[in-house]
């Protein structure tokens, strides 16, 4: 799948509750993407006047392609995403993608574990393996949860955990994973979220003899394997580039104690 660089028209950029937003972009030449791939998005609108601050594009998962639009679910966390939130319909943002390697094919049951913005990386995977998937979503609070209705509409098995108990069970999403793995046989875990959550998922999966794939969220500058800024330490020495060799990795390949 070859990558594009386009200044895409914003079809919609809407509030999804809390700090979450949904950006829908018209990318007529989009070549398609595999679940788990991502794009680099300019930190805000591209206008006739060049702006150099903030400078670097932001990595964002391809949430899905829907109604002719590339969709991104994002959370306003800093300056770049705050500027992105100002983009109005008809304005343009730069997209480079699809990038990276997505989730591998699996057999048997799929346990998808999403936390925070990591949830956005899992929708296409759940859609691909709908019948075999059980999606476990975690957030601090109900209003922080991303994409809940979309997952529900897919008809996949869905369980939710919030730290404040405002919806679903109270506690961490990894507790749901632990519970599922007690009974599941031949399951594969796919996790994306904060590093401690992914690490815990990997440990729980290992304890139950399940394979685990994680989608890492390291800071990036280029997204195409040339700056070497996104290095993740490998268990067998050296570094992998998250943008080029990942973002999806077998959890055993990652040297968790050295992750930034």
Ligand X SMILES: Cc1cc2nc3c(=O)[nH]c(=O)nc-3n(C[C@H](O)[C@H](O)[C@H](O)COP(=O)(O)OP(=O)(O)OC[C@H]3O[C@@H](n4cnc5c(N)ncnc54)[C@H](O)[C@@H]3O)c2cc1C
Ligand Y SMILES: Cc1cc2nc3c(=O)[nH]c(=O)nc-3n(C[C@H](O)[C@H](O)[C@H](O)COP(=O)(O)O)c2cc1C
Report the interface residues with ligand Y, using CB under 6 A: 227, 229
Smallest gap from Cβ 4 to ligand FES, in A, equals 17
Q: Is 233 in the site for ligand FES (CB under 6 A)?
A: no
Dist. CA 32–CA 199, nearest whole Å: 30
Dist. CA 136–CA 213, nearest whole Å: 15
In the complex, residue closest to ligand X by CB: 78
Phi, psi dihedrals of residue 201, rounded to the nearest 5°:
-60, -40
Question: Closest CB to ligand X among 74 and 205?
Answer: 74
Smallest gap from Cβ 11 to other proteins, in A, equals 23
Q: Which of 225, 233, 239, 259 binds ligand FES (CB under 6 A)?
A: 225
Residue 243 binds what, of ligand FES, other proteins, ligand Y, none (CB under 5 to 8 Å, by partner type)? ligand FES
Q: Is 248 in the site for ligand X (CB under 6 A)?
A: no
Dist. CA 10–CA 23, nearest whole Å: 7
Question: Closest CB to ligand FES among 59 and 138?
Answer: 59
* Residues in contact with 202: Cβ distance below 8 Å, sequence separation at least 6, in sequence order: 189, 191, 212, 214, 251, 252, 254, 256
Q: What x-and-dash track marks residues 76-95 binding ligand X by CB under 6 A?
A: -xxxxx--------------
Q: 260 and 218 in contact (C-beta within 8 Å)?
A: yes
Closest CA to 93 of 36, 29, 20, 40: 40
Dist. CA 223–CA 98, nearest whole Å: 10
| Residue numbers at the binding site for other proteins (CB under 8 A) | 2-5, 42, 50, 52-57, 94, 96, 218-233, 237-239, 258-260
Distances (CA, A) of 103 to 34, 106, 122, 173: 8, 9, 9, 20
Q: Determine the interface stretch with ligand X among 26-34, 75-83, 159-167, 196-204 (rule: CB under 6 A).
A: 75-83
Question: Closest CB to other proteins among 152 and 226?
Answer: 226
Q: Is 227 in the site for ligand FES (CB under 6 A)?
A: yes
């Amino acid at each position: 799948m070859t990558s594009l660089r386009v200044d895409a028209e914003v079809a919609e950029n809407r509030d999804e509750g809390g700090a979450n937003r949904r950006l829908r972009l018209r990318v007529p030449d989009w070549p398609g993407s595999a679940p788990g791939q991502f794009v680099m998005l300019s930190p805000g609108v591209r206008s006739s006047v060049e702006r150099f601050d903030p400078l670097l594009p932001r990595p964002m998962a391809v949430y899905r392609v829907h109604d002719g639009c590339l969709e991104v679910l994002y959370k306003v966390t800093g300056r770049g995403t705050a500027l992105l939130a100002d983009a109005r319909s008809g304005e343009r943002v730069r997209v480079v993608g699809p990038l990276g390697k997505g989730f591998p094919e699996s057999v048997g049951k799929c346990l998808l574990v999403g936390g925070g913005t990591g949830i956005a990386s899992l929708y296409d995977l759940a859609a691909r393996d709908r019948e075999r998937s059980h999606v476990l979503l975690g957030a601090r609070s109900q209003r922080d949860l991303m994409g809940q209705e979309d997952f529900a509409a897919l008809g996949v098995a869905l369980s939710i955990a919030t730290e404040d108990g405002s919806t679903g069970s109270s506690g961490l999403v990894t507790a749901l994973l632990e519970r599922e793995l007690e009974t599941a046989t031949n399951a594969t875990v796919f996790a994306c979220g904060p590093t401690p959550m992914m690490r815990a998922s990997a440990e729980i999966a290992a304890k139950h003899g399940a394979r685990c794939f994680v989608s890492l969220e390291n800071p990036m500058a280029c997204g195409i394997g040339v700056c070497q800024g996104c290095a993740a330490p490998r268990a067998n020495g050296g570094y992998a580039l998250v943008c080029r060799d990942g973002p999806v990795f077998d959890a055993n390949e990652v040297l968790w104690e050295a992750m930034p």
